[in-house]
Amino acid sequence: MAFTSKYLTSAAGLAMSAAMLVAAPAAAQDQADDAGDNAASQDEGGLGTIIVTAQRREQNIQDVPISVTAISDDQLNAIGSGGQDIRALSGRVPSLVVESSFGRTFPRFYIRGLGNTDFDFNASQPVSLVYDDVVLENPILKGFPVFDMQQVEVLRGPQGTLFGRNTPAGIVKFDSVTPQDITEGYVRASYGRFNNINAEGAINLPLGDQFSIRASALYQRQSNFVDNVTPAGTVEDAFGGYEDIALRIQALANPTDNLEILLTGQMRDLDGTARLFRANNFTRGEEGLNENFDRFTVNTDGQNDQSLETYNATGKITWDLGPVSLISVTSFWEGESTSVGDVDGGFGANFLPAGLFGPGQIPFTAETRDTVPELDQVTQELRLASNGDGPLSYQLGFFYFEEDLIIRSDNYSTLGDPLNAPGGVNIVVTQFQTSEAYGLFGSATYDLTDQLSITGGIRYNDDKRTFEVIRSQDTQFPTFLQNPLGTVTREVKDDTITWDGSITYEASDDVNLYARVARGYRAPSIQGRILFPPATATPLEDGVSVADSETITSYEAGLKSTLLDGRARFNLSAYYYDLNDAQLTAVGGDVNANRVINADNVRGYGFEMDAEFAPTDQLLLTASLSYNDTEIQDDDLTTAACGGVRVDTFPDVSLCTVLDPIVTAAAPFSAAIVSIDGNSLPQSPKWIANWTARYDFPVGDGEIYLFTDWAYRSKINFFLYESVEFNDDRQLEGGVRIGYQKDDYEIAGFVRNITNDTSAVSGIDFNNLTAMVNEPRIWGIEASVRF
């Protein structure tokens, strides 16, 4: 551990340098208005106080012994310009990455390098999403739009006591604006490139002294803007469009002075283009996107579309009993979704005459659809929280979770064959999964002195999952590729204790120091997307994989400071974690496979810094910086690398240039098996930085403002193995917003990805060198009014 002191010293130096030198950081906290639109209050001539609920109670962010960042309205409005979805949060706070191979329906979150590249609809993620006190477990729920928000908080590190299961990496927490006892509302709408419309609004109505309602809505649409070019001809503006609608209705009742009942109903309806896969946009033996890449052109002979519907009903009851309050949160979510894509990313196949396949080599066709015909999630939490201002505060609770999920995966005969028409389904896999979990938890904070406090918590977790999968196919489909397996079943269960402990010391009125140790847990998981397991599969080798539960122990220390008479804020944390039996996902290889494996250990360390500075009342600067170093530690862990191809395509039959030690060499249509011991985790950049600046100057009765925000991430690797091709060196995206405000009216122009940064964000490796890329430059104009 000799590196620790050196690392901490250099980390602190880098963070301080960034805070002092960067002149355009991460987003201004708006002033709170009577409607409670913002959880930050700004005093005259200062930054004010940011209130968060990272510990399930309202606290000054400077007093919370957790590495946490609150994203303000300014930043949410900026990054949401032009219809951006939840993936726009990626890189906007320290240590957070968000990506997807499904587009808007299925985001994957990573904190401190910990995430999951699994693309199946039952994927388990180590980053939990909590939306209005309700955990959203299934991936199709995690993309629920962000609108009419009071605040978004990112909690880094294990949150295994108050939030529970599947939180070893952290939590992204969304809190929407709740009904108030005043009449107010807003409408905001923009129009931009590609006929992009982004509109949201809310209205709040008090109905008597004891009842109020709030209705809010979001509408996003965009026209297709990507041409599809194949030998059959060019279809202009074939892909890239979508229509996304979300609604929320809330009713708040206060039948007595000590009883509050909040009822919420939500829905989302999405139709549009799925993720665009781009065949051979990497070149074998070279880094970066090649000359085949054209942002506005693809070459695909398969289908591409997706749709999603989700519905929610939640009831929250808060009963003030004097010394304590009893809080009950009951929620039901249901949903259905389908997404189909031409996974090979091109047209034709190598066995066709020249000119009828491409771009580049297409060894075989691959077109698949994944569908969730039914998803039901029920959660119930009961929590007892102490009231009062004494030295002891505590929370006790019970949590229950149940999910029923059906997934159907279809393989298409894109080219057809003598027995199947083009576009016909020839393989069907249906998964049935039931998950059940409950937890008992307690947490307490005790103020030992006016300056020193300690917090400790513990939780008992019990998880059970049953799984059944059935694979069938057209009886006349060529059996050399695949045989029916019939029905395969699995069951996993586990119970464990998670906990956390922290100490906070108020070194002065403006500086808090803290240290925290926490244990987190992810429940065991099953992966059974067996469209293409080996044809000779036996009951012991049927393509269904199981991963044991993973546990993490994390050590964290930090400081939180307010400087320059409240005009500056500087927070810094450093951490080290051991993740045992780490659940990893191996994708690709010979076929479009997806399996879960356990690594003995993953080690990670790093730091996070948040800084804000208001040198004048008109100028606000903030900056964030994080460093994350991860390493897989398992001498015996191997995985299939990129797919094997035909001998006449590449002499050594390996699709990509593998950099890891080869255990078993590649053969025709058989991927190399490589050791991944010592590799970093996929989608885990070492560096993430973001910065914004806002400057206001008065014009008449109003003001003109300029706002800019930038996000940078360093190199990422797409898979568990390392290769020359499947990575991206860096990404830097910026936005600019210029507007005029007067009273409750605002008009602004904006540009997103202003430099038109072009970066690969993921890849597909089993067929050819397929790429997925970031969003193009968007510009537009926006107007809003509050009433």
Tell me: pLDDT of 147 over 80: yes
CB 720 within 8 A of CB 584: yes
pLDDT at 526: 93
| C-alpha 226: how far from chain center | 25
Residues 354-412 pLDDT 10s: 889 999 988 888 899 999 999 999 999 999 999 988 899 999 999 999 999 999 998 88
Question: What's the average model confidence in pLDDT over 640-665?
Answer: 79
Would you say residue 19 has pLDDT above 50?
Answer: no
Provide the residue type at 151 as one letter. Q
Q: At residue 473, does pLDDT exceed 70?
A: no
Q: Is the pLDDT of residue 739 over 50?
A: yes
How far is residue 588's CA from residue 595's CA, in Å, rounded to a whole number?
9
Q: How far apart are CA 407 and CA 371, in angstroms?
A: 6
User: How crowded is residue 45: how many other Cβ atoms within 10 Å of its Cβ?
Assistant: 12
- Token pair 């906990």 in the structure block, residue: 499
Given a cut of 50, whether residue 749 has pLDDT beyond it is: yes
Query: Which of 310, 306, 203 minimizes the C-alpha distance to 267?
Result: 310
Provide the 8-state DSSP code for 679. Answer: P
Rounded to whole angstroms, how far apart are CA atoms 729 and 745? 42
DSSP class of residue 566? T
Integer-rounded Cα Rg, in Å, for the chain is 26
- Furthest C-alpha separation in the chain: 81
- Best CA proximity match to 267, nearest among 197, 213, 219: 219
More confident residue, 36 or 219: 219
pLDDT of residue 27: 33
Map residue 179 onto helix, strand or coil. coil
Per-residue confidence band for 654, with pLDDT thresholds at 50, 70 and 90 = confident
Q: How much is the mean pLDDT over the chain?
A: 88
pLDDT for 117: 92
Q: Does 457 or 528 have the greater pLDDT score?
A: 457
Would you say 736 and 311 are in contact if contact means Cβ atoms under 8 Å apart?
Answer: no
What is residue 28's predicted lDDT score, i.e. its pLDDT?
33
User: Rounded CA gap, 604 and 591, in Å?
Assistant: 31
**What's residue 589's pLDDT?**
80
Lowest-confidence pick of 59-63, 232-236, 526-530:
526-530
- Mean pLDDT score, 455-475: 88
Q: Rounded to an integer, what distance in angstroms lies between the CA atom of residue 141 and that of residue 268?
A: 10
Contact at 8 Å (CB) between 662 and 614? no
Q: Which pLDDT does position 435 carry in this prediction?
A: 96
Q: What is the pLDDT of residue 103?
A: 86
Tokens at 520, concatenated: 């987190």
Q: How far, CA to CA in Å, does 616 sit from each of 48, 62, 219?
A: 14, 22, 37
Q: What does the pLDDT read at residue 262?
A: 98
For the entire predicted model, the pTM comes to: 0.91
d(CA 465, CA 721): 29
* Range from 1-15, 49-63, 621-635 that averages highest in pLDDT: 621-635
Which residue would you say has higher pLDDT here, 570 or 19? Answer: 570
Interatomic CA distance for residues 701 and 343, integer angstroms:
56
Rounded to whole angstroms, the Cα distance separating 650 from 363 reads 11
Closest CA to 123 of 146, 145, 141, 104: 141
pLDDT confidence band for 415 (50 / 70 / 90): low
503-506 long-range contacts (CB < 8 A, ≥24 apart) are 503/65, 503/452, 503/453, 503/454, 503/455, 504/63, 504/65, 504/452, 504/453, 504/454, 504/455, 505/451, 505/452, 506/450, 506/451, 506/452
pLDDT in tens, 475-509: 444 454 445 567 889 999 999 999 999 999 999 99
Distances (CA, A) of 15 to 20, 225, 350, 556: 9, 41, 52, 16
**465's tokens:** 């999952």
pLDDT tens for each residue of 722-738: 999 999 999 999 999 99
pLDDT at 220 over 90: yes
| End-to-end CA separation in angstroms for the chain | 58
Q: Which residue has the higher pLDDT, 46 or 727?
A: 727
Lowest-confidence segment of 30-34, 278-282, 459-463 by average pLDDT: 30-34
CA distance 57 to 168: 21
Q: For the residues 317-345, what does the mean pLDDT come to?
A: 96
What pLDDT shows up at residue 416? 52
Cβ–Cβ contacts within 10 Å for residue 638, how many? 21
The answer, yes or no, to whether residue 31 has pLDDT greater than 70, is: no
How far is 262 from 175, CA to CA, in rounded Å?
13
Per-position b or e across 69-105, b if 16+ CB within 10 A of its CB = bbbbbbbbbbbbbbbbbbbbbbbbbbbbbbbbbbbbb
Strand segments, DSSP code E, in 564-618 are 568-588, 593-616
User: What pLDDT does residue 488 have?
Assistant: 87
Per-residue tokens: 749: 């122009």
**pLDDT at residue 541, rounded to an integer:** 56
> Mind listing the pLDDT tens digit for each residue in 75-124?
888 888 888 889 999 999 999 999 998 889 999 999 999 999 998 999 99
Task: Give percent helix, percent strand, percent coil of the chain, each to the nearest 5.
Answer: 5, 55, 40
Q: Are 301 and 412 in contact (CB under 8 A)?
A: no
Per-residue pLDDT at 680: 97
Phi and psi, residue 150, nearest 5°? -80, -40
How far lies 674's CA from each of 639, 651, 665, 666, in Å? Answer: 6, 19, 8, 10
Q: What pLDDT score was predicted for residue 474?
A: 57
Instruction: Kindly state the tokens that stand for 182.
Output: 């005043």
Instruction: Please report the pLDDT score of residue 7 as a whole number.
Output: 34
Place of tokens 């050819």: 768
pLDDT for 364: 85
**Residues 668-700 pLDDT 10s:** 778 889 999 999 999 999 999 999 999 999 998
Q: Would you call the peptide bond into 359 cis, given omega within 30 degrees of 0 as the criterion?
A: yes
